[in-house]
Chains A and B, each alone.
Chain A
Amino acid sequence: AQKITQTQPGMFVQEKEAVTLDCTYDTSDPSYGLFWYKQPSSGEMIFLIYQGSYDQQNATEGRYSLNFQKARKSANLVISASQLGDSAMYFCAMDQAGTALIFGKGTTLSVSS
């Protein structure tokens, strides 16, 4: 069965610093996708970044990068140069062909000035 684990309930970082949000996953299927979403207090889930299990390089989208370590089954999100607007809940998620996204419990990120 698929499973997503986010072990950090909360993270605190200062503006302009980098932060890593942890995510581990479990699946027996060799083909899967890994996603990160951001949920600000408004409630909307905002897509940040995607990594396919066969992608050779780590995904990057602006200040977001995904540190994909397949053997360790981890897909950590790295946010460089944090901004106050990055304060939100962050969810790691996974899908496979034939299934919809499943999500982890989330990590609350607080960025201070």
Chain B
Amino acid sequence: ETGVTQTPRHLVMGMTNKKSLKCEQHLGHNAMYWYKQSAKKPLELMFVYSLEERVENNSVPSRFSPECPNSSHLFLHLHTLQPEDSALYLCASSQNSGTGGEKLFFGSGTQLSVL
């Protein structure tokens, strides 16, 4: 079992759909992250949660709504997305956040296509 598990691996949705991405970490970490990876662009940090509280939100559109019910689970709720939101969404966890030198452990990502 890998340390960080993301489901689903692939998702195709229409612009009017509502869907959720799920991330679960089995490493006992206190911080979890969502990153967006678009073609030919650097990974973009979307959200950071530390001990279930959101500590960073990088000006992400409100059509992306994160939820962190506990330190092991992280969700990204999607609604009324645009085609430019098609990307690989990566979840990561680390022991702590904001302390510097923290190694992130990543899941395999959800490849999202918005039609």
Contacts and interface: CB of A to CB of B under 8 A. Distances in A.
B102 interface: yes
* Nearest 9 CB-CB pairings of A with B: A45-B106, A97-B100, A103-B43, A43-B109, A33-B101, A44-B108, A103-B42, A43-B108, A98-B98
19 contacts: A33-B101, A33-B102, A35-B103, A37-B106, A42-B108, A43-B109, A44-B2, A44-B109, A45-B92, A45-B104, A45-B106, A47-B103, A47-B105, A50-B103, A91-B43, A95-B100, A95-B102, A101-B45, A105-B41
Contacts of A104: 42
B59 interface: no
B107 A44 contact: yes
Contacts of A103: 42-43
Interface in A85-108: 91, 95-106
B97 interface: yes
Interface in B31-63: 33, 40-43, 45, 48, 56
Interface of B: 2, 33, 40-43, 45, 48, 56, 88, 90, 92, 97-109, 111
A96 to B, nearest CB: 6
A21 interface: no
A25 B101 CA distance: 16
A98 B43 CA distance: 18
Contacts of A96: 100
Size band of the A side of the interface?
20 to 34
A97 B55 CA distance: 13
Contact of A99 (B42, B98, B103, B106): B98
A31 B43 CA distance: 22
Nearest to B88: A43
B100 A33 contact: yes
Interface in A42-79: 42-47, 50, 52
Nearest to B58: A100
A90 to B, nearest CB: 13
Contacts of B99: 97
